[in-house]
């Protein structure tokens, strides 16, 4: 394991070093390009050079004080330095500038939970669900109405329009009503009274499949898929907050919402496993985690949880094998190192477990609240002509 980890770490560090060298040269050519400075800082913090990355970020923010990615990365660097309150302040400043940027808001959920607990994070989740509804339900409704109008105008010019109008109108209206109804998100059950279950199911996939051919363009379908994928993610994050509050009923409702959008999502199956653990249904939890892994073999969280559950059931050999695989896939995963240490300690291998615990502590000391890779990045094209 040590040899494999050493080789994997060396290869990744070599790539990051090469990237940093290229970006340093780019910085020399133009030290007033905030995008170059951001990417250099990102490469440095990925190499665990937090202080160096922090300095580069300050340069980037001098050039462009409102750069969203630089502000986001600054918050994550501060969280890696365990300055969670300062990180939350930075995120809130960034959100004031970019109030509809979900990547910032998702980071705020985690920082709020770290600073103020899961109840505070739940309030942020409630706001996120309301924002999704305000932004996307009305937009999708208006866009679909425009598509409907364009389709009718095109059909009206066709000689066969009079023969097919009633049939097409019927199908179109049914599909439109279905999508509009199912895209509407009711977040009332997130109120403090705790009555009722989480909102009615969202079945956009079914509505899309039933829409008549030509009603939705490919671009529209892709955009809608991304939109509802975000909704599924929001439900799962809300479910996690409820699980942390040990509210199985509300967590189950949120998971049901996410499942109604993407029933075979490994993240949905993983969260079902978390819920089963909360309800002390160990076998069902293992089945959920293994189902998630059958779809996405490198789902880190599911693999870790199933490893720990096998350990709890007394199968330490299988637990060790699974957790070692987690570490081989991501050598910087401090929680996996800690879990492996727990398993090794239970088998009497105290020297090995101590090494794992020390590695976990060292890695945890520079681990951000969310992965640095969670920041959406894009590279602009340069005109070389």
Nearest to 111 by CA among 121, 119, 98: 121
28-37, 151-160, 194-203: least confident range: 194-203
Tell me, yes or no, if the two domains 1-65 and 298-375 fold the same way: yes
Higher pLDDT, 171 or 146: 146
Nearest to 299 by CA among 338, 271, 263, 262: 271
Domain boundaries, the chain: 1-65, 298-375
pLDDT at 205: 39
Q: How far apart are CA 248 and CA 193, in angstroms?
A: 16
What mean pLDDT comes out for the span 189-212?
Answer: 36
pLDDT greater than 70 at residue 160: no
Q: What percent of the chain has pLDDT over 70?
A: 72
pLDDT at 274: 98
pLDDT greater than 50 at residue 168: no
- Cβ neighbours of residue 336 under 8 Å, at least 6 residues apart? 300, 304, 323, 326, 327, 330
Q: How confident is the model at residue 23 (pLDDT cuts 50, 70, 90)?
A: confident
Q: For the packed helices 266-278 and 218-244, what is the interaxial angle rounded to 10 degrees? A: 20
Q: How far apart are CA 302 and CA 159, in angstroms?
A: 57
Q: 114-137 pLDDT, tens per residue?
A: 999 999 999 999 999 999 998 887
The rounded Cα 354 to chain-centroid distance in angstroms is 32
CATH 3.40.190.150 fits 298-375, yes or no: no
Could you give the 3-state DSSP secondary structure of residue 98?
Answer: coil
**Which stretches within the chain are classed as H helix?**
2-29, 34-46, 50-63, 68-80, 84-97, 102-116, 118-132, 138-156, 161-183, 204-210, 218-244, 248-261, 266-278, 282-295, 300-312, 316-329, 334-346, 350-364
The rounded Cα 307 to chain-centroid distance in angstroms is 22
Could you give the 3-state DSSP secondary structure of residue 275?
Answer: helix
Instruction: Tell me the residue length of the chain.
Output: 385
Q: How confident is the model at residue 255 (pLDDT cuts 50, 70, 90)?
A: very high
- Are 311 and 346 a contacting pair, CB within 8 Å? yes
Q: How far apart are CA 98 and CA 131, in angstroms?
A: 13
pLDDT greater than 60 at residue 211: no
pLDDT at 153: 56
Any idea of the CA torsion for 130, 132, 136, 137, to the nearest 10 degrees?
A: -40
Q: How far apart are CA 12 and CA 47, in angstroms?
A: 9
Phi-psi region at 173: left, alpha or beta (left = phi > 0; alpha = psi -120 to 50): alpha
28 exposed, middle or buried (CB, 10 Å; 0-12, 13-18, 19+)?
A: exposed
Half-sphere exposure of 121 (CA within 13 A, CB side): 25
What mean pLDDT comes out for the span 225-231?
Answer: 85
pLDDT at 194: 35
Q: How far apart are CA 70 and CA 234, in angstroms?
A: 24
CATH 1.25.40.10 fits 1-65, yes or no: yes
Averaged confidence pLDDT in the chain: 81
What mean pLDDT comes out for the span 214-222?
Answer: 45
pLDDT at 124: 96
Q: 45-87 pLDDT, tens per residue?
A: 998 899 999 999 999 999 999 999 999 999 999 999 999 999 9
Query: Hey, CA dihedral for 227, 230, 234, 239, is it positive or negative?
Result: positive
Q: What percent of the chain has pLDDT over 90?
A: 61
pLDDT at 57: 95
6-10, 256-260, 296-300, 316-320: least confident range: 6-10
Residue 212 is given by DSSP the state P
pLDDT greater than 50 at residue 88: yes
Residue 359 phi/psi, 5-degree rounding, is -65, -40
Higher pLDDT, 155 or 235: 235
Q: How confident is the model at residue 212 (pLDDT cuts 50, 70, 90)?
A: very low
pLDDT greater than 50 at residue 170: no
pLDDT greater than 60 at residue 13: yes
Higher pLDDT, 21 or 141: 21
Q: How far apart are CA 267 and CA 230, in angstroms?
A: 12
pLDDT at 192: 38
pLDDT at 171: 40
């Amino acid at each position: 394991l040590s040899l494999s980890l050493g080789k994997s770490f060396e290869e990744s560090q070599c790539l990051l070093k090469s990237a940093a060298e290229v970006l340093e040269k780019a910085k020399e050519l133009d030290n007033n390009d905030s995008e170059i400075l951001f990417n250099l800082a990102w490469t440095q913090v990925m190499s665990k050079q937090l202080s160096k990355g922090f300095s580069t970020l300050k340069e980037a923010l001098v050039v462009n004080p409102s750069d969203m990615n630089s502000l986001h990365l600054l918050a994550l660097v501060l969280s890696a330095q365990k300055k969670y309150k300062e990180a939350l302040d930075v995120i809130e400043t960034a959100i004031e500038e970019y109030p509809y940027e979900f990547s910032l808001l998702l980071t705020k959920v985690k920082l709020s939970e770290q600073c103020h607990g899961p109840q505070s994070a739940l309030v942020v989740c409630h706001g996120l669900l309301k924002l999704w509804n305000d932004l996307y339900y009305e937009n999708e409704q208006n866009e679909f109405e425009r598509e409907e109008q364009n389709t009718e105008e095109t059909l009206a010019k066709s000689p066969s329009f009079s023969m097919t109008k009633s049939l097409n109108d019927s199908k179109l209206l049914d599909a439109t009503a279905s999508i509009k109804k199912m895209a509407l998100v009711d977040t009332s059950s997130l109120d403090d009274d705790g009555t009722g279950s989480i909102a009615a199911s969202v079945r956009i996939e079914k509505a899309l499949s039933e829409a008549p051919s030509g009603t939705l363009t490919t671009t529209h379908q892709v955009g809608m898929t991304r939109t509802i994928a975000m909704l599924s993610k929001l439900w799962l994050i809300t479910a996690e907050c409820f699980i942390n509050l040990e509210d199985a009923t509300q967590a189950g409702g949120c998971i049901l919402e996410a499942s109604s959008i993407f029933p075979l999502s490994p993240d949905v199956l993983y969260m079902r496993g978390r819920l089963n653990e909360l309800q002390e249904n160990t076998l069902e939890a293992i089945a959920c985690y293994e189902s998630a892994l059958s779809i996405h073999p490198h789902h880190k969280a599911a693999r870790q949880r199933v490893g720990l559950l096998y350990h709890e059931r007394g199968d330490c050999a299988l637990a060790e094998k699974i957790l070692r695989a987690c570490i081989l896939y991501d050598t910087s995963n401090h929680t996996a190192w800690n879990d492996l240490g727990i398993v090794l300690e239970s088998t009497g291998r105290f020297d090995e477990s101590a090494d794992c615990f020390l590695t976990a502590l060292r890695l945890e000391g520079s681990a951000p609240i969310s992965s640095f890779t969670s920041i959406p990045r894009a590279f602009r094209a340069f005109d070389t002509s």
